């Protein structure tokens, strides 16, 4: 499990903030591996334009071929 964040000012006048927050997880059972991540960002916009908010995620599943009886896959 993991959690991360990045915060900082992003404009030339140093008064508008950018913030990101993420969570991730990985699970492994023998040759099966599951992974996923969620990320959310938001930043202040100039000239009373409000806030720019975005988010995204992914999920991944994998099966390792290391137990197949193929000479080059067992490493």
pLDDT tens for each residue of the chain, 75 residues long? 999 999 999 888 888 889 999 999 999 998 899 999 999 999 988 887 877 899 999 999 999 887 778 777 665
Both tokens assigned to 21? 């927050």
Residue 36 is predicted with a pLDDT of 98
pTM above threshold 0.85: no
Place of tokens 């915060």: 7
Number of residues assigned to the chain: 75
Residues 19 and 41 sit within 8 Å (Cβ to Cβ):
yes
Q: Quote the CA–CA distance of 45 and 8 in Å, as a whole number.
A: 13
């Amino acid at each position: 499990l993991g959690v991360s964040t990045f915060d900082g000012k992003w404009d030339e006048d140093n008064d508008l903030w950018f913030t990101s927050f993420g969570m991730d997880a990985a699970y492994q059972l023998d040759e099966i591996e599951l992974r996923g991540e969620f990320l959310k960002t938001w930043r202040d916009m100039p000239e009373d334009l409000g806030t720019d908010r975005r988010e995204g995620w992914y999920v991944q599943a994998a099966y390792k071929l290391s137990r197949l009886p193929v000479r080059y896959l067992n490493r």
